[in-house]
Structure 1
Amino acid sequence: MTTKTNLLKLLVLLLPLYTLAQTAIVNGVILDESNFPLQAVNVKTQTDGTATNDTGFYEITIPSNTDVTLVYSHVSHKNVTITVNLKNGEVFEFNPVLKTDVDQIETIVLNGKKRKDVQGIVNIDPKTLIKIPGAQAGVENLLKTLPGVSSNNELSTQYSVRGGNFDENLVYVNGIEVYRPFLVRSGQQEGLSFINSDLVQNVDFSAGGFQAKYGDKLSSVLDITYKRPKDFAVAADLSLLGGSLAVESASKDSKFTSITGLRYRDNSLLVQAKETETNYNPVFADVQTFLTYRFTDKFELSFLGNASLNKYDYEPQARQTNFGTLDNPVALLVDYEGQERDKYQTLFGALQASYELNDKVTLGLVASTYHTIEEEHFDISAQYSLGEVNSNIGDEDLGEVEFSEGIGGQLNHGRNDIDALITTIEHKGTANINENEIKWSVKYTNEDIRDRLIEWEVIDSAGFSINAPAGGINQEPYEPDTFPITAFQNARARNNTQINRIQAYLQWSKRSTLGDADVWYNAGVRAHNWQVTDNNISGDNQLVVSPRAQFAIKPDWEKDMLFRLSGGLYYQPPFYRELRDANGTVQPNVKAQKSVHVVLGNDFSFKMNERPFKLSTELYYKNLTDVNPYTVENVRIRYAADNSATAYAYGLDMRLNGEFVPGTESWFSFGYLKTEENINNRGDIARPTDQRLKFAALFQDYVPNLPNFKMYLNLVYNTGLPGGSPSYADKYQYQNRLPDYKRADIGFQFVLVDAKKQFDSGWKKPFKDLSFGFEIFNVFDVQNSITNTWVRDVYSKRQYAIPNYLTPRVFNVRTTMRF
């Protein structure tokens, strides 16, 4: 029985059990006028209530995304009343002081998003993750619509931020750093992101100038929090690309909670729509779980686990790509033999303990293990012909190749295997002392990696073997090649690498006033010590120290304005990929890349047509030294591993978001970036991520007279990246730019059941949410390309760049349901 059939049966069995809760938390410590904790203070909403314990602490769960009034009352003190409106999953701390002689019945409106705005963090509504269409729907799909975030490959979940590459982005789930597979070369091999959108409760993203509590990367932080369920619930999502199932549960006393997600994905719909005819059999599946148990009011234990299996079987058969001009059309015809077999198996587990020492100090301990076994085996032979195309309109042979200008062949071989085990243990702490928040951490990481790299490529043209370009200029068949016959490209290496790391940070935060303005301060420092041992040869013991700071001020102006200034010295000690040079050999003494960040930001919040809007603007500058140069082919990065470059990046990011349509959030983004590097003092040249201009929009709408019929639009326009050049080309002598990337995805959804439309009888009664719809990926059928295939015309000795196109227009149907 197929995996799809099993998944459908499981869905049918679990559907009637579903219910859904979207909540936030308000907590804090209540004091009297002498700053002593007050016990037995009643905290009530319209529907729920609690009381403070003997330390004055309270915690109450409230509905999210709606105004909720809380009343704090005590027999010998005056009441305090506040109104809050929090995002789903937010935790808002409020510490009122109850007085005996002053009436405090006025309403104070508080919004939990202000805390994120101060830190320069973008917060994304988790509901949007599921609704917005995309070839790789989820968190990364939405990130690509933000300014400063770039990706020219809809099949990939990887993204670059403000001139950085894919390896420069931190990803956390519940405060635990997570990783991606090592051997992925193309977007269609990726399958599933680690982040399961069905489990997400909160999404925070920072594109630079982030705090010291976040790790040692140069570009960005994606901080994900998974849900803590309140009741039993089930959610399901089915489409032609696969399906997902999420099950939530909680014990009656709420001490134990669990949420588990299963996903299955099949990219055949997207890959088989491309111009290469293939036998394609992918299996991308995973299961994730997040469990929590609160033993006492002070001690809690949680577990995050993930098991994934990605199998990628690819057998290309034939390809025809037409290119050139209307006057001189050219076609590449390719016949393939052989296949590729890839397999990625990963296991991840993290155990986290949290203990409230008292009402001011919280201590934590985290232990995690990540294990991945990856295989990449391929033998693919390609025989090509390059020819002139019949362009006579009306001719029955229109578009057919009439004359071959060149013929040749190519054989690619690979036997790449990697087995990596990454183990960490970390102590964390938080202390609140007299309005000062202090956070600290000490972390130890051991990385044990065993790697075999065997890759070679043989190319011939008109029956003559073409040697590697380093050997000299090949004039065959007109002049005999005097150099020894070698593979066009050849990389072989065996590595047994161990990396030991010790990391620590200390940071301080405070909210205060400056005149009539509210101000926020944050300052911190990180330290990172590591040593690399490869094949029993140890490198140098290295240490870097990273100071960082943030300052925000909200003037007492009529207009709602917030200004931010952040920056610091950021280091990125090398991970395993950055230690391998172009031949795959580990260089143990690669230094940490270093970057000075300066970010100046402004948020202008306003109302238009009585609806909230915000215009966010950030100017940034990065100065990088000890840069590790690299090349990018599709999504695979190969480093020089020699710290031979310097670089810089600067730009402007703008984002306007708000309720363009009442009740829905949409946004428009603009980004300008310039980034260049200087390799071995040869002069400045565009980096591989030099994405000059970026426009994006995420728009949600509904039909005015039919509000249950909804539309979701995802638009991205990026100017062309440097790339598509031959892999051996010297970028100082030959640099090409890929065409601009233009893409529009649209989704239509008809809602049968939602929170506003419930049924007391009939077949719709069990549902809390039910919708059906369809999606159109690449609405305008734009031919975007990610790389070029280079073939040689033996007659003119010219090389032609044949674009490798991404996905064309594709239709998908989808249904979501919640019980």
Structure 2
Amino acid sequence: MKTNKHLFSLFFLLFGIVAFAQNARITGVILDEDNQAVDGATVTAANRSVTTDETGFFVIDVPANQKFDLVVTHPSYKKTSQAFELKPGETLQFNPVVNSEFEQLETVIVTMQNRDQIEGVINIKPELALNIPGANAGIENIVKLLQGVTSNNELSTAYSVRGGNYDENLVYVNEIEVYRPFLIRSGQQEGLSFTNTDLVQDVNFSSGGFQAKYGDKLSSVLDITYRVPTKFGASAQASLLGGSVSADLVSKNNKWSGLIGARYRDNSMLVNSQETETNFRPRFFDIQTNINFNPTPKWTFSFLGNISQNRYNYQPLTRQTNFGTIDEPIALQVFYEGQEKDKYETYFGALKSTYKVSDNFTLKFIGSAYHAIEKEYFDIYAAYFLGEVDANIGSDTFGDVVFNRGIGEQLNHARNDLDAFIVNGEVKGSHKLPKETTIEWGFKYSREDIRDRLVEWEVIDSAGFSLNPPIVGLPTNDQPYNPYTGPLVPYQNVRALNYTQIERFSGYAQWSRKTHIGTSDVWLNAGVRAHNWEVSNDFGENGKSQIVFSPRAQFTIKPKWERDILFRLSGGLYYQPPMYRELRDSAGVVNPDVKAQRSIHYVAGGDYSFKMWDRPFKFSAEVYYKSMSDINTYTLENVRIRYRANNDAKAYATGLDMRLNGEFVKGTESWFSFSYMKTEENLNDRGFIPRPTDQRLKFGVLFQDYMPAIPNVKVYINLVYNTGLPGGSPSYADPYVYQSRLRDYRRADVGFSYVFTETNGTRPDGHWLKKFKDLSVGFEIFNMFNNQNAITNTWVRDVYTKNQYGIPNYMTTRVFNVKLSARL
């Protein structure tokens, strides 16, 4: 049977080669005036027609040795035509740019741009990620400025969406799901995002109410598409934080094309600005490629590969943190010995094939494998002094610690190893039916094989007396008042060995249609997902087979009004079957029967597009409510999430998101975003308390400008203000007792760039700068106002008063950066 299949494929390929020898071929990518891919354009030549895919790419066979017109049509754009006469076997590259049909503005047509509005998706221009400054620049740096998205950690690419945690966000690259590391506990260990911004063509983001074709997470979808090169290109960037290079490659016959990019980052300049003095130089490196092969007009193949290596060698020296009040200032002084050596390696490969059965039926086959090898080794001894600060102005010891109210020591040890291997196989189909109806479906198989050794303990000594953990059954230790005769045990002691396998079967089907209600245009989408999984353990019990169903729907209406206003309703039942981290509790034990967390989304919103100062603007607003059950509660330490793995709570999230974006400065996009959100959880019916991600208010600004007198000088600004997150609680503590909040998060990053190629249009042919599409030098200021932002609390015990002090762990201070960018 397999032999017959191979013979059939070989015959099909040979037949295509013979047929092509008698004809010629034209390939290309169709873009609009905003350099965005045009999906669904019809390319016609000599009674043959093809349709462009989501990247704007097309391949069409044409007759040789005769004149013909190649015509590009699309309901949203003016018709474009070009006359050709090609030789037998010749392949020509033709990349037309189409313009909008302005006289048809009264007619609503589904294009790539307004389809995002219809589906409630935000489209992000990749060039913003290249230009906007940030301590961790990239796609996620822009996402954090959107409404409904919050992050208090400039060293991390992780973000929270509408009250969800970092594990509740889907990320796709070329329709292939990508994964985050498992063991990383702080943003400064995280290194590079998977997404290489130099390779990106299109970015879409949904913060809730997304369609059934997307996977099984509770909060959001980030959908990224890499470009398909049409000609040679190259780019390079260098700064004090590292650098990157990339290249676009195309074969002579245009059947092969590829992207390759390499990045290197050194975060020492950022982490050394923190209050802990260290001998520290974290280094991160990755190389990524995306290769495309188009053997026939119907078949396309692509390979996406990534290799990354993060090395994190950390040797803390000293730290001093001042806190308390003006009347009673307190300082924490810490002296360290020891070091931490962490290593995170990931290998990722995915093969995708698209087969156009007909103009109305497309099949896609996707297979991927992800391998992560993570090591986390540390032995760090800390001696701390908790003292009162002299607040008497004019005193010789003003600002110094004059009295130690607490003295203690702490030893942290870990030998954690994790090996994760994840494979996926998926088939997807899309059918275009009459009456502007589309049916989409897909089936996916996944297997996750996790091998995890966890050895981690902590010993705390306060004023010479070892502290026992608050565990029921241990004798009371009230030294120095009474002698302690019980056993000496670590304050925390986690030891586990887990060999866990998870097998998953999932699938979806959805229906979309455009219709009318009276004179109003209406778009409908309805679908359902199903997910079945089973957990097995080499050490411990196996789980039972579980299955969930997730119905989802969207309704969009555009009344035929003079004003361009569109309304949306979306929602459904969303499940998140547990990944490995959600199965492992705080003691390291895997609970194979953890249920899928469930969330019901209710989302209502709309867009108002208008012109101001003869420039385009859009105001978007959404209100939402999420009712959640079977919640797997957790504690949040920097970016490390520790689940309780017992589905012991219910929760809710509700809020309002708004954004105004447009050309505040002609030719540039800027926006202002605002969010209000409240999320609370109820553990075992004890009452609602704020969740760890309960960030009530968020303001975000992304602004671009240039100097009219010197148009070569560009200015880029991003501003973020978030109200404080809950401050967490000490280990083993009851979260209902600790309800303090961190201080508000305020940050401003500013970049200045001098673009040498800005006036290339006025330069004579042959000028050396005309070889560059972009050549610029920039200067950036991170955390311009030097705000002290906290990410978590360190909890220190005063042995005399028995108080626990939450001492803020501050993030980076003001840092300067210089960068050079070039693109051919």
Structures share a fold, TM > 0.5? yes
Q: Cα offset for 1:398?
A: 3.5
Question: Is 2:785 aligned against 1:784?
Answer: no
Structure-2 residue corresponding to 1:307: 307
How far residue 478 of structure 1 moved from its aligned partner, in angstroms, is 2.2
Report the CA distance between 1:792 and its aligned residue: 2.2
Please name the residue that 1:195 is paired with.
Answer: 195
CA distance in 2, matches of 1:778, 1:706: 26
2: distance between equivalents of 1:107 and 1:619?
28
Which residue of structure 2 aligns with residue 694 of structure 1?
A: 698
Partner of 1:428: 428
Deviations 1:630-669 (A, max 9, x none): 1101110011111111111111100000000100000000
Distance 1:654 1:160 in 2: 17
Secondary structure of 2:117's match?
Answer: helix
| RMSD of equivalent CA atoms | 2.9
- More off after superposition, 170-179 vs 397-406: 397-406
Matches within 5 A, 1:38-187: 39=47, 69-71=78-80, 112-187=112-187
**Counterpart in the other structure of 1:13:** none
Distance 1:185 1:50 in 2: 47
For 2:633 and 2:818, the matched residues in 1 are separated by 43
2:566 maps to 1:558: no
Q: Secondary structure at the match of 1:258?
A: strand
- The AA in structure 2 aligned to 1:747 is G
What is the Cα deviation at residue 30 of structure 1? 6.0
Partner of 2:325: 325
Aligned residue number for residue 812 of structure 2: 807
Partner of residue 660, structure 1: 664
**1:50–1:402: structure 2 CA closer, same or farther, 3 Å change rule?**
closer
SS in 1 for 2:712: strand
Single out whichever of 512-521 and 382-391 deviates more from structure 2: 382-391
- For 2:706 and 2:37, how far apart are their aligned partners in 1? 31
Q: Per the alignment, do residues 50 and 352 of structure 1 end up closer, same or farther by CA in structure 2, a change over 3 Å counting? A: closer
How far did residue 70 of structure 1 move? 2.6
Distance 1:31 1:517, change over 3 A: farther
Alignment CA distance shift 1:268-1:791 (3 Å): same
Q: What's the CA shift for 1:816?
A: 0.9
Give SS of 2:664's match.
strand
Q: Are the structure 2 counterparts of residues 345 and 85 from structure 1 closer, same or farther at C-alpha, using a change threshold of 3 Å? A: farther
User: Which string of whole-angstrom CA distances, capped at 9 and with x for unpartnered residues, describes residues 64-93 of structure 1?
Assistant: xxx97433699xxxxxxx99558xxxxxxx
User: Does the 8 Å CA contact 1:528/1:543 hold for their aligned counterparts?
Assistant: yes
Question: Structure 1, residues 168-191: CA drift from partner, whole Å, max 9, x if none?
Answer: 000000000000110000000001
| Equivalent position to 2:802, from 789, 797, 811 | 797
**More off after superposition, 145-154 vs 472-481:** 472-481
**2:225 paired with 1:221:** no
User: Which ranges of structure 2 fall in alignment gaps of 5 or more residues?
Assistant: 1-30, 84-95
Distance verdict in 2 for CA 1:410–1:165, change over 3 Å: same
Q: Distance in 1 between matches of 2:321 and 2:393?
A: 19
- Provide closer, same or farther for how the CA distance between residues 662 and 27 of structure 1 changes in structure 2, counting only shifts above 3 A: closer
Q: How does 1:507-546 map to 2 (within 5 A)?
A: 507-535=510-538, 537-546=541-550
Residue 705 of structure 2 corresponds to residue 704 of structure 1? no
Question: For residue 381 of structure 1, what is the amino acid of its counterpart?
Answer: Y
1:167 partner SS = helix
CA–CA distance in 2 between the matches of 1:433 and 1:586? 47
* Structure 1 residue 724, shift from structure 2 partner: 3.7
Please name the residue that 2:460 is paired with: 459
> Displacement, 1:472?
6.8
1:350-749 paired onto structure 2 within 5 Å: 350-395=350-395, 397-434=397-434, 435-470=436-471, 471=474, 474-535=477-538, 537-749=541-753
Answer with 436-445 or 481-490: which moved more: 481-490
Deviation for aligned residue 1:762 = 5.8
- CA-to-aligned-CA distance 1:236-284 (integer Å, 9 cap, x gap): 1111111011111112332211001100001101100111110112120
What are the superposed Cα offsets for residues 766-798 of structure 1, whole Å, 9 maximum, x if unpaired?
322111111111111111111111222233332
Contact kept? 1:28, 1:59, Cα under 8 Å? no
Deviation (angstroms), 1:289:
0.3
Alpha-carbon distance in 2 for matches of 1:538, 1:595:
26
Tell me which moved more, 317-326 or 172-181: 317-326
Structure 1 distance, partners of 2:458, 2:741, is 25
C-alpha distance in structure 2 between counterparts of 1:506 and 1:112, whole Å: 22
Report the CA distance between 1:285 and its aligned residue: 0.3
Given residue 131 of structure 2, which amino acid in structure 1 is its aligned partner? K
What does the per-residue CA deviation read over 1:11-47, in whole Å, with 9 as the maximum and x for residues that have no partner? xxxxxxxxxx994444647699xxxx98158999xxx
Deviates further, 475-484 or 658-667: 475-484
Report the Cα distance in structure 2 between the residues aligned to 1:152 and 1:375, rounded to whole angstroms: 26
The 5 A counterparts of 1:224-235 are 224-235=224-235
Instruction: Say if 1:206 and 1:221, in contact at 8 Å, map to a contact too.
Output: yes
Label 1:444 to 1:785 Cα distance change in 2 as closer, same or farther (>3 A). Answer: same
Cα displacement (A) at 1:729 = 1.9
Q: Give the letter aligned to residue 790 of structure 1.
A: W
Count of residues in Structure 1 that have an aligned counterpart in Structure 2: 765
Partner of 1:297: 297
User: Is the contact between residue 69 and residue 82 of structure 2 (CA under 8 Å) also seen in structure 1?
Assistant: no
Using the alignment, how far apart are the partners of 1:283 and 1:362 within structure 2? 43
Residue number in structure 1 paired with 2:348? 348
Distance in 1 between residues matched to 2:805 and 2:325, nearest whole Å: 13
Q: After superposition, what is the alpha-carbon deviation per residue over 1:107-138, rounded to whole angstroms, capped at 9, x for unaligned?
A: 99985310110000000011001100111101
